Amino acid sequence: MAKISILPVHLVNKIAAGEVIERPASVVKELVENALDAGAGRIAVAVEDGGARLISVTDDGSGMGAEDLALAFAPHATSKIAGEDDLFRIVTMGFRGEALASIASIAHASIRTARRDEPSGGGWEVEASGEAIGQVRPCAAPPGTTVAIRDLFYSTPARRKFMKSATTEMGHITEQITRLALPRPQVAFTLTHNGRTVLDLPAAPDTAGRAADLFGRELADGLVEIVPRGRRPVRVGGLIGKPSAARPSARWQYTFLNGRYIRDRLLAHAVKEAYRGVVDPSRWPVALVFIEMDPAEVDVNVHPTKVEVRFRDSQAVHGELLAAMRETLNSANLSPDASFTTRPADLGPDPFAAALPATAAAMAAPALPDDARRTSVRQALADFFRAQPPPQPRLGFAPSPAATHPAAFASSATATQPHAPATTAADSAGAYQSEHGPAPAPAAVPAGAMQVHDSYIVVQTDDGLAIIDQHALHERLIYNELRGRLAAGGLTGQRMLIPQTVAVSPAQAAAAASHAELLRRLGVELEPFGPATLAIQQFPSMLAQRGCEPTEFVQETLERLLEDPQADSEVLLERLLQTLACKAAIKAGDPLTPQELAALLARRDSLADKGSSCPHGRPTTLKLTLKDLQKQFKRV
Ligand SMILES: Nc1ncnc2c1ncn2[C@@H]1O[C@H](COP(=O)(O)OP(=O)(O)OP(=O)(O)O)[C@@H](O)[C@H]1O
Ligand SMILES: [Mg+2]
């Protein structure tokens, strides 16, 4: 008996859908691409329940006649290519003739359409679901097309299970629309979720206008136009960020090829390379890059969702992109002094700022020189955790939460320690044994302790010696302290008199909404404030006191939350605390004053296990007993 049989069409479609339709955002992408291919000037996307119940896309494009409509859901039916040669000069977003057939195989789909160039011809509608494609029937319809997809994945329960919360799916959907809308400022887009407007992008004169609507004014104002390099086989245009406007993640780097969003490691490398030496390697410049070239020079038929392409001469594309960006960055107006700052006063008319006197503004955001404002969030956080007053100039810790009410924390960071002992070696040795209460702050290093290579601390122990990794230990101490404060009710937040605004991506906005409670525990409160903007209502007091820039801190925090959207809030909290502690801790290579060294060791003694591992699980301490030493020196 033969083992091979030809699969039925509906199964083939389902398999194709498996590749192309990963989640609701994939449906949005396919339908919006079809609308763009139909020459639409306005596209309205309506979503219900994160796309599980309904995704509908309405356009004012060419529309379809009855004959075309009858074929729209058929597999391998397309109006976009006719022969093999066409595959190598693709100028449309679609060409496989597969999207609608795939979607209909896993959902209830319907189309209503009327031809734009024949308004009197009347409209047509058709439904398709699973294996069945219905009859085309006349109906009343405005010129253009509406495609409605209901009950996505109803027939593929496994996929349906993979769908995340409506908030998460909406984050993906907004991101897809962002990618489609950026290269086409002249097309108007709207996105609604359960009737509420999520995106409203009117037709804009240029990319800068579109970027401002998508990402907020603040981000758009930090961009400069790529200087054109004349007519060449590969043309590069778009907007790139001033070095001072670099971000904590690559989220604001978009590369487009002939109007199509693509992911490409080589292009990402060119962007990074262009900013080498100009931007700290831990920061990512904003880049909205549009590459135009002969479609024959690139193969877009290598990836099911077309997000990856193959260039005939990828080095040439890389080189051209690098050159265009370098020339732009070298052009006169980009010296650091010309860069913008993130002070609210610089963000154009701000209703709050105008209404309040300057002193009020100063209270909400401590007045700092621009240079200080620009210090990276890492530095600001690190500074915060290093309470100032002598005798512990950089390492000081607040009293332990057991001894202090959390509400008092805001001021406790600078409180002097009541139990500071006399600074004799004997007292320090006594403190060394202590397991309880606020750690003393000796001004002298315990006998037999020293820092070596600005990285390790060697201490004498009862039965030998210990070598401590200073970064790992400090990290562990800060982490414990934060944990303690959280257990005692969370970190205190300081209400901002004038809420600072922060530009966020749609995904970041979604993360802020879905993790509001978690953020509140950290003392952070954010509220939606216009398109692509959040207002920081409350900010951890401790960070505020240290002059940490709230916008950068919020951005960085939201990025952390996005790294793994599936993780539950305890895991995320843990991760945030670890990150904070790691950033705040002294680093290998930081020299310590004797007072700092003493404070660190005294603090170590308050740890039940003497801090034998850092929060990441790496050891903080290596121990050598006298016995080990004797063995090594062959004394026994
Ligand atoms: N919004 C629309 N307006 C006008 N015609 C449309 C619209 N959506 C689909 N069509 C027609 O239906 C055909 C099938 O669409 P479908 O998305 O399945 O395939 P495609 O766009 O040709 O290729 P791909 O599978 O790569 O997207 C299109 O070629 C087009 O002729
Ligand atoms: Mg298509």
| Residue 326 CB-density burial (10 A; 0-12 exposed, 13-18 middle, 19+ buried) | middle
Give the confidence band of 546 by pLDDT, cuts at 50, 70, 90. low
pLDDT above 70 as % of the chain: 79
Q: Number of C-alpha atoms within 13 angstroms, CB side, residue 92? A: 21
Residue 11 phi/psi, 5° resolution?
-70, -40
- For 508-517, the pLDDT digits (tens) are 888 898 888 8
Cα of 104 from ligand 1 centre, angstroms: 13
In order of 475, 476, 587, 612, the CA distances from 581 in angstroms are: 5, 7, 11, 16
Closest ligand to Cα 301: 1
- Position 600 scores a pLDDT of 86
Most confident of 152-156, 345-349, 481-485: 152-156
- For 460-502, the pLDDT digits (tens) are 888 888 888 888 888 788 777 777 888 887 777 778 878 888 9
Residues across the chain: 636
260-262: strand order across its sheet: 223-225, 234-241, 287-293, 253-257, 260-262
Q: Which of 62-76, 159-173, 206-220, 328-342 has the lowest mean pLDDT?
A: 328-342
Measured by CA distance, the residue closest to atom 12 of ligand 1 is 72
Q: Which of 47, 93, 29 is nearest to 199 (CA)?
A: 47
Give the confidence band of 149 by pLDDT, cuts at 50, 70, 90. very high
- For the residues 95-104, what does the mean pLDDT come to? 94
Q: What share of the chain is helix, strand, coil (3-state, %, to 5)?
A: 40, 20, 40
pLDDT above 90 as % of the chain: 39
Measured by CA distance, the residue closest to atom 20 of ligand 1 is 97
Which helix (H) or strand (E) element contains residue 605? helix 594-605
- For 216-245, the pLDDT digits (tens) are 888 898 899 999 888 889 999 999 998 888
Q: Using only C-alpha atoms, what is the Rg of the chain?
A: 30
More confident residue, 374 or 317: 317
Q: Which atom of ligand 1 is nearest to the CA of 34?
A: 8
Q: Number of C-alpha atoms within 13 angstroms, CB side, residue 581? A: 23
Measured by CA distance, the residue closest to atom 9 of ligand 1 is 34
Q: Which of 12, 31, 37, 111 to mutate to test the pocket of ligand 1 (most atoms within 8 A of CB)?
A: 37
In order of 271, 374, 524, 532, the CA distances from 535 in angstroms are: 30, 20, 11, 10
Tell me, using a 6 A CB cutoff, whether residue 303 lines ligand 1.
no
More confident residue, 162 or 410: 162
| Mean pLDDT of the chain, nearest integer | 79
Distance CA 236, CA 292 (A): 6
Structure tokens at 545: 């006191």
Tell me, using a 6 A CB cutoff, whether residue 174 lines ligand 1.
no
Structure tokens at 321: 């992109």
Tell me, using a 6 A CB cutoff, whether residue 95 lines ligand 1.
yes
Distance CA 220, CA 429 (A): 58
CA–chain centroid gap for 302, Å, is 27
Answer left, alpha or beta for residue 533, where phi above 0 means left and psi between -120 and 50 means alpha: beta
- Position 21 scores a pLDDT of 93
- For 392-423, the pLDDT digits (tens) are 334 544 433 333 323 222 222 222 333 333 33
- Position 616 scores a pLDDT of 63
Tell me, using a 6 A CB cutoff, whether residue 72 lines ligand 1.
yes
More confident residue, 267 or 543: 267
Contacts of 24 (CB under 8 A, 6+ apart): 47, 50, 51, 52, 55, 152, 163, 169, 172, 173
Which helix (H) or strand (E) element contains residue 497? strand 493-503
Please tell me what DSSP assigns to residue 205.
S
Give the confidence band of 576 by pLDDT, cuts at 50, 70, 90. confident
Give the confidence band of 276 by pLDDT, cuts at 50, 70, 90. confident
- Position 420 scores a pLDDT of 31
Q: Which atom of ligand 1 is nearest to the CA of 57?
A: 1
Measured by CA distance, the residue closest to atom 1 of ligand 1 is 35
- Position 254 scores a pLDDT of 97
Please report, as a single letter, which amino acid is at residue 379: Q
Other Cβ atoms within 10 Å of 157 Cβ, number: 9
- Position 164 scores a pLDDT of 86
Distance CA 300, CA 522 (A): 46
Tell me, using a 6 A CB cutoff, whether residue 35 lines ligand 1.
yes
Cα of 298 from ligand 2 centre, angstroms: 19
- Position 391 scores a pLDDT of 32
Q: Which of 33-37, 194-198, 503-507, 561-565 has the lowest mean pLDDT?
A: 561-565
More confident residue, 509 or 386: 509
- Cβ atoms of 306 and 257 within 8 Å: the answer is no
Most confident of 224-238, 442-456, 570-584: 224-238
Q: Which of 104-118, 158-172, 602-616 has the lowest mean pLDDT?
A: 602-616
- Position 311 scores a pLDDT of 94
